[in-house]
Structure 1
Amino acid sequence: MKHRVIKENDLFFLTDESGDIPPGSTDGSGLYTQDTRFLSRLELSINGVKPILLESSAETNCQAVFRLTNPHMEEEGQVKLWRETVEIMRHRFIQDGVLYESISYTNYGPKTVGFETSITVDADFADMFTVRGIKAGMIGSVTGKSVDADRIAIRYAGADGIARETRIAWNIPADRVSPDGTVTFAVELKPREVRTIELTVTPVIADKAPQAKPREEALRLLDASYRRWEQGSTSVDSDLEIFNKLYHRGMRDLRMLLTDLGHGPFPVAGLPWYAVPFGRDSLIAALQMLPANPEVALGTLRTMAVYQGSKVDPWRDETPGKIMHEIRYGELANTNQIPFTPYYGSVDSTPLFVVLAIEYYRWTGDLGAIRELMPALERALEWIDQSGDLDGDGFVEYHSVSSGGIANQGWKDSGDSIVHASGDFAETPIALAEVQGYVYLAKTGMAEIFRKLGRNAEAEALERAAADMKRRFEQSFWMADESFYAIALDREKRQVQSVTSNPGHLLMTGLPDENRAELVARRLTAEDMFSGYGIRTMSGKSTGYNPMSYHNGSVWPHDNSLCLIGMSRMGFIEQALKVTRGLMRAAEHFEYARLPELFCGYEDTLGRPVPYPVACSPQAWAAGTPLIFLQVFLGLDPDVPDGIIRLRPALPEGMNRLSVRQLRVGSGTLSLTVTRREGNAVPEVEVEHNSTGCELRVLHAIHQDVQN
């Protein structure tokens, strides 16, 4: 079933295509904040019957519109309401913690009509983990429901001692309000007459209630917020329409997914299940967003630093210096029935925290922010060398000690994702290939920053450790018979010999030997790994391959994007353009040209990508993937601390012009146009504005198939 979802800051609303939440819905529909469902039923009827859906859209992300009409209605042989006489328009948005909805009825019949319309509401205050079917436990109860002519209030006493309440109000007195939460209005309309009912739904937590504004003012403030986002972010235009759609969709989705807990904006992971701070996902999405809006990276780093691990807590898989995996705010977390307050069970969040800080510095030159974050960065480096290296072999491993924790703690965190060629699952502690790459980049990048700060001895120590790690990694992870890196080492230090996408992340880290890096890039785009729509998570030749699986053969756009960063940086342009083409072809088949969290890994000979049934959409790091396309097409590699921006432009097939405005680099912006003229395989670059404070160097592409 298709959904309609809108979100603003920490409140989001998911319904069916008609705008309803049917009773007993099991698909996650509802109005949520703080991991609690504050509206579990919302049904609109006309004369007691569900209207007919004509069309609906939540394309703008911050607003949803539904156009409906009445079915034919007769009673004892008499026409009660002729079919398609009344148009019903629902318009909703969220602003400053309040849901606003207007329902407008227009009579398109030739005579006056009368009917009743009802809105039925309810709230179950279910914890998100309960809605997802993951965890049941000790919970509170609904303690009362107040019913008046212009409002309903439903109250809940949580097992965590927190009082919660849902307040639903409307702008005109109802004719009837029943105890079950059905609000009924008698409507009479002359031909072409319009009548509008306006609703607000306000979640209240611990007696803290956001104040509803006049509808027009709230909508104006919301629109102004989106305009500021667009005006302050990098914009693109090209003669390849699918890229334009993808980029604009990604930017709007990322704006919708931003939340601010008081330390700056950061992207939550995705809707509906992961509208919370998520270490790995938030860090990667912020990394993708650097060329468009680097302030998000700084907000993400500051937020993660606030929640950095400070003690040893086995229940939460916490150790000092570790960056969180996920934080939850609902009843089950607050009563310690789940360890997500926050939970620290990811092995890659900590090195990715350091990597994002390094990349933020490369893009902005903001040494002041690095100085501010330095205590957290130093603690993260200590974690890498101490708690992260479980057996002292120089590699970072994971092993969950929490009874409520996650077994596999890399980005492929499903239980079957790390599988030997024999079909057996690898046993922990497990050292993942890509995590070693993140660690290598963290150490080499921080060494450069330490040198900038005059801390030469510490820089040299990090460089020596990185060089030693590089040597040992090549010895331990390279599979000579596959000419590829193993996904991991298991508890016995045996290679987990599956060919997967994970080693593709190594290309952006500098860890692989250059000749082996080229073999990796070529294998990622070979037939067994590349579906035609993107790089699969696992080779079709590997034992565990399943195109319908979550992590063993599906296609994840963000996974592809991290491979693309490395392909572009290392000059594997032919492979990079092949991957971008495949993902753009896939996007043409998804609603709003929106790349989902993942899709199945079937061959493109089917003529369309096969959706994964419970993929989050929008998902932050999928939305950020088109921003990486921009980096690939420009060959963009900034080094602001050294005062250089490198470009190695390579346009994909079907694109002969790419205009970029307000590219955020250094202390200013860069605006330019890349053009490929007939008969000239090398694109030309025209710089229209450069206030970055950096020298722009345009280089020729290497490893490029000029026929691409």
Structure 2
Amino acid sequence: MDDSYSVQTTAAETGETGGLDTLQALKDGDTFLVADGWGDLKGGADGLFDSDTRLLSRFQMTAGMARPSRLSSGVSRDNVFFTAHSTNRPLPPMGGRSAPAGVMHIERRRFLWNRRMFERVRMVNHGVEDVLLPLAFDFAADFADIFQVRGTLREKRGTVHTPTHDGRRVTFRYTGLDNVERTSCLSFSEPPARLSGTRAEFMFSLPMGKRLDLYIECGGEACTTPDPLRWRESALAARLSMRRRRRRGASLRGPRSPMFNAWLDQSRADMALLTTDLPTGPYPYAGTPWFSTPFGRDGILSAWQMLWLDPSLARGVLTYLAARQATEVSAFHDSAPGKIMHETRGGEMSALHEVPFGLYYGGVDTTCLFIALAGAYARRTGDLDLIRKLWPNLVAASEWMRDYGDSNGDGLIDYARGADTGLSNQGWKDSEDSIFHRDGRFPKGPIALLEVQGYAYAAWLAMADLGARLGDARAQAWEDHAHEVRFLVEDRFWMEDEGFYAIALDGDGEQCRSIGSNAGHLLFSGLPSKARAERVTRRMLSSEFRSGWGLRTLAKGQARFNPMSYHNGSVWPHDTSIGVAGMARYGERDAVSTILGEIYTAASHFQMRLPELFCGFDREPGEGPIAYPVACLPQAWAAGSAFLMLQASLGVDVNALDGVVTVANPTLPTGVDRLTVSELRVGTSKVDLIFERIGEGTVLMPRGKQGDIRILTSR
């Protein structure tokens, strides 16, 4: 329609090279900012967002009526500061001869704190004469919903009011169709020479060798005049908050492996960046820019990846999701009593139900994973008090599995979306073309995904174990249900001629005989027999799956295989990590260590920050992995993949219920000869684990053991 409203993003708008890989992201709580390499916002996929609403859509700086020449830019290792260094182009004459290019150093330094953007523009004159520097900012606030920014059309929207300005402040207002008035305010420490609702112009006089700072703030609350003290105090608070999040749980260090340490540090920093401290505890948001919000599946798997080092994430995730468990049937929200949330959003479109994602339950696996994580958390921590508090939620989730998750009564968890506005595929591979028959046909619903049955198996076993510990008489029935699921999967999904499991069953019970990485998730659950697990492992380690940079989501040669696709042949680090952890569960170590090394090498080509996914082309000598152009960066479960793969390689299992840490046949990745796990806490006890390569093997040397904890080793 001609009057539809949408924010369209073109490649040319997204960065210097035309790709999203040039965008830089900051995040604090529910606020995030995406800008190009100069620090500019240009109204495409970028902006300052809070609670899924864009508060600042345009913010571009010019020096002397031209964009400055960029020298370098990037985000600090701790993910707190974005800094762009640039220099001036030739400046226009101002009462005399013009200043030449390259005499002014202009630094833009920016961070987020307490739902506000703080920016300092530092100008230093390195020339031999005094300089008059014209500096200008063009700005706008469109208050677009995150789904509009992603390209969803709206037939109409609310009213964007004319900005008001007063001295050094500009206030933007928008009245939404939900009758909520949203505001943002942009303020400067110095009064501009000219100020309008869209532009601020300054004229700075800088003597040679002198420095001048301009402070800027933008947020959704009332304007406060920026000043150096507010900048320093807020910057310190932001840095200390990030440091606390990074230092939760045990730490990992390779004393003779600086590059490997850099990867671990970046991964830990990315997890800390994406983790928001909510009233229910820490929760890892999925990723920026599009998924900076709590997701059920992503939060659970990210917490599971970190569980052996930092159980606080799992506690926070379980508590948050329990508080948002569905209590009613809704086709629009894909909800039913006991089901666990898939996604939540806070913008206008969600509030108006233009999209179902305000509180959306269209994930078939999240409820099973919720129970399974609770079982893993209890085993890792011994924290049965939390389990008792969550027990009604866990029982309700198991009742959803029994009463709603199995729509056709065949004993398997399946899905079919409740409304056309929902997701058509509801496993982790949720793109429309990700589940198909061997000939490429899309299956009729309801669809029973392979990996979801593994999650269900783990969930029933968790209910049985926890129920027995809490004295629930239903424990044996839950264990029986787990064995029934195991029998059904082995009977109906296994393809003897392929030595592999079908990716799904369609609504007629017919196998979707595609060969996908979903089988690695089944290994992670522990469902397959040892003999079948070994056959799956061999095939997943073949060139069909292995790209040299990790495991592909779909084997080469399958219908719809495309290494440049989202789910049909690309490499997702989290998917690889779950697959290799599944292999390790059945005793594989050497191959796990090798693939860990491949993912580590891939990370080195992405500046030590693993993206959400990258293309699944074969590794070529002297070349790096090929980026997927619109991958989220950073992404929580991509960052967490390093730690799950390390746990799998080291063979570490923590059982706080029995006070035991078991290390089975540890292996260090290539290039790492020594690794220390410091302050590993087990209940009230703690220990340091030192792994060292000696000859062809790796040995464990426990140190500093405090408390009643046993260390067992096996080979």
TM-score w.r.t. the length of structure 1 is 0.95
Whether the 8 Å CA contact 1:351–1:442 is kept in 2: the answer is: yes
Mapped partners of 1:245, 1:110: distance in 2: 41
The residue number in structure 2 matching 1:460 is 476
Instruction: Flag structure 1 segments of 5+ consecutive residues without an equivalent.
Output: 701-708
Mapped partners of 2:643, 2:600: distance in 1: 12
Deviation of residue 692 (structure 1)?
A: 6.1
Q: Taking structure 1 as reference, are residues 609 and 77 closer, same or farther at Cα in structure 2, changes over 3 Å only? A: farther
- Which of 20, 31, 35 is matched with 1:15 structurally? 35
Mapped partners of 2:223, 2:713: distance in 1: 55
The residue number in structure 1 matching 2:334 is 317
Deviation of residue 363 (structure 1)?
A: 1.0
Mapped partners of 2:448, 2:713: distance in 1: 39
Whether the 8 Å CA contact 1:45–1:51 is kept in 2: the answer is: yes
Whether the 8 Å CA contact 1:521–1:575 is kept in 2: the answer is: no
The answer to whether structure 1 residue 531 and structure 2 residue 529 are counterparts is no
Mapped partners of 2:425, 2:248: distance in 1: 39
The residue number in structure 1 matching 2:117 is 99
Amino acid in the other structure paired with 2:289: P
- Which of 199, 214, 239 is matched with 2:230 structurally? 214
Deviation of residue 462 (structure 1)?
A: 1.1
The residue number in structure 2 matching 1:479 is 495
Amino acid in the other structure paired with 1:330: G
The residue number in structure 2 matching 1:704 is none
- Which of 684, 699, 708 is matched with 1:684 structurally? 699
Deviation of residue 117 (structure 1)?
A: 0.5
Whether the 8 Å CA contact 1:250–1:626 is kept in 2: the answer is: yes
Deviates more, 1:439-448 or 1:687-696: 687-696
> Hey, which bits of structure 1, 4+ residues long, moved more than 6 A?
207-213
Alignment of 1:530-549 (within 5 A): 530-549=546-565
Deviates more, 1:129-138 or 1:280-289: 129-138
Whether the 8 Å CA contact 1:139–1:332 is kept in 2: the answer is: no
Whether the 8 Å CA contact 2:548–2:619 is kept in 1: the answer is: yes
Whether the 8 Å CA contact 1:93–1:99 is kept in 2: the answer is: yes
Deviates more, 1:290-299 or 1:13-22: 290-299
Mapped partners of 1:143, 1:76: distance in 2: 37
- Which of 558, 561, 566 is matched with 1:550 structurally? 566
The answer to whether structure 1 residue 331 and structure 2 residue 331 are counterparts is no
Whether the 8 Å CA contact 2:187–2:224 is kept in 1: the answer is: no
Amino acid in the other structure paired with 2:647: Q
The residue number in structure 2 matching 1:163 is 181
Amino acid in the other structure paired with 2:218: V
Mapped partners of 2:51, 2:264: distance in 1: 30
Whether the 8 Å CA contact 1:139–1:331 is kept in 2: the answer is: no
Deviation of residue 298 (structure 1)?
A: 0.7
The answer to whether structure 1 residue 576 and structure 2 residue 596 are counterparts is no
Deviation of residue 693 (structure 1)?
A: 3.6
The answer to whether structure 1 residue 598 and structure 2 residue 613 are counterparts is yes
**1:588-621 deviation line (CA, Å, top 9, x unaligned):** 1113x11100001000026211111110000010
Mapped partners of 1:691, 1:231: distance in 2: 20
Amino acid in the other structure paired with 1:324: M
Mapped partners of 1:611, 1:667: distance in 2: 44
Amino acid in the other structure paired with 1:524: M
Whether the 8 Å CA contact 1:149–1:176 is kept in 2: the answer is: no
- Which of 69, 72, 75 is matched with 2:87 structurally? 69
The residue number in structure 2 matching 1:564 is 580
- Which of 159, 165, 169 is matched with 1:141 structurally? 159
**1:307-357 deviation line (CA, Å, top 9, x unaligned):** 111000111111010111111111111111111120111101101111111
**1:185-232 deviation line (CA, Å, top 9, x unaligned):** 11111111000000111114xx89999981111111112212323333
Deviation of residue 389 (structure 1)?
A: 0.3
Deviation of residue 495 (structure 1)?
A: 0.5
The answer to whether structure 1 residue 695 and structure 2 residue 710 are counterparts is yes
Mapped partners of 1:663, 1:604: distance in 2: 36
Mapped partners of 1:160, 1:495: distance in 2: 46
Deviation of residue 260 (structure 1)?
A: 3.4
Amino acid in the other structure paired with 1:21: L
Q: State the superposition RMSD in angstroms.
A: 1.9
Mapped partners of 2:451, 2:225: distance in 1: 44
Amino acid in the other structure paired with 2:135: T
Mapped partners of 2:288, 2:418: distance in 1: 29
Q: Taking structure 1 as reference, are residues 249 and 490 closer, same or farther at Cα in structure 2, changes over 3 Å only? A: same
Mapped partners of 1:696, 1:332: distance in 2: 53
Alignment of 1:38-49 (within 5 A): 38-49=55-66
- Which of 240, 248, 252 is matched with 1:232 structurally? 248
Whether the 8 Å CA contact 2:249–2:311 is kept in 1: the answer is: no
Three-state SS of the structure 1 residue aligned to 2:389 is: helix
The residue number in structure 2 matching 1:389 is 406
The answer to whether structure 1 residue 117 and structure 2 residue 132 are counterparts is no
- Which of 536, 554, 558 is matched with 1:520 structurally? 536
The answer to whether structure 1 residue 647 and structure 2 residue 663 are counterparts is yes
- Which of 524, 531, 534 is matched with 1:508 structurally? 524
Mapped partners of 2:410, 2:195: distance in 1: 68
The residue number in structure 2 matching 1:359 is 376
Whether the 8 Å CA contact 2:351–2:358 is kept in 1: the answer is: yes
Whether the 8 Å CA contact 1:522–1:575 is kept in 2: the answer is: no
Deviation of residue 699 (structure 1)?
A: 1.5
Whether the 8 Å CA contact 2:217–2:226 is kept in 1: the answer is: no
Whether the 8 Å CA contact 1:69–1:86 is kept in 2: the answer is: yes
Mapped partners of 1:643, 1:141: distance in 2: 61
Mapped partners of 1:522, 1:242: distance in 2: 30
Three-state SS of the structure 2 residue aligned to 1:117 is: strand
Deviation of residue 688 (structure 1)?
A: 1.5
Deviates more, 1:76-85 or 1:162-171: 76-85
The number of equivalent residue pairs is 690
Mapped partners of 1:487, 1:258: distance in 2: 32
**1:651-679 deviation line (CA, Å, top 9, x unaligned):** 122221111212243334321211112xx
Q: Taking structure 1 as reference, are residues 692 and 299 closer, same or farther at Cα in structure 2, changes over 3 Å only? A: farther
Mapped partners of 1:337, 1:302: distance in 2: 28
Whether the 8 Å CA contact 2:216–2:226 is kept in 1: the answer is: no
Whether the 8 Å CA contact 2:524–2:581 is kept in 1: the answer is: yes
**1:66-119 deviation line (CA, Å, top 9, x unaligned):** 101111245699842201010001111111111100001000001111121011
Whether the 8 Å CA contact 1:665–1:692 is kept in 2: the answer is: no
The answer to whether structure 1 residue 401 and structure 2 residue 418 are counterparts is yes
Amino acid in the other structure paired with 2:704: H
The residue number in structure 2 matching 1:176 is 194
**1:260-305 deviation line (CA, Å, top 9, x unaligned):** 3421110111000001111111111111111232111111111111
Mapped partners of 2:259, 2:552: distance in 1: 22
Instruction: Flag structure 2 segments of 5+ consecutive residues without an equivalent.
Output: 1-18
The residue number in structure 2 matching 1:83 is 101
The residue number in structure 2 matching 1:418 is 435
Amino acid in the other structure paired with 1:682: G
Whether the 8 Å CA contact 1:137–1:332 is kept in 2: the answer is: no
Mapped partners of 1:458, 1:510: distance in 2: 22
Mapped partners of 1:209, 1:403: distance in 2: 45
Mapped partners of 2:436, 2:250: distance in 1: 41
Deviation of residue 137 (structure 1)?
A: 4.0
Mapped partners of 2:528, 2:708: distance in 1: 32
Whether the 8 Å CA contact 2:590–2:667 is kept in 1: the answer is: no
Amino acid in the other structure paired with 1:537: T
Mapped partners of 1:319, 1:188: distance in 2: 65
TM-score w.r.t. the length of structure 2 is 0.94
The answer to whether structure 1 residue 57 and structure 2 residue 74 are counterparts is yes
Q: Taking structure 1 as reference, are residues 405 and 210 closer, same or farther at Cα in structure 2, changes over 3 Å only? A: farther
The residue number in structure 2 matching 1:706 is none
Q: Taking structure 1 as reference, are residues 210 and 492 closer, same or farther at Cα in structure 2, changes over 3 Å only? A: farther
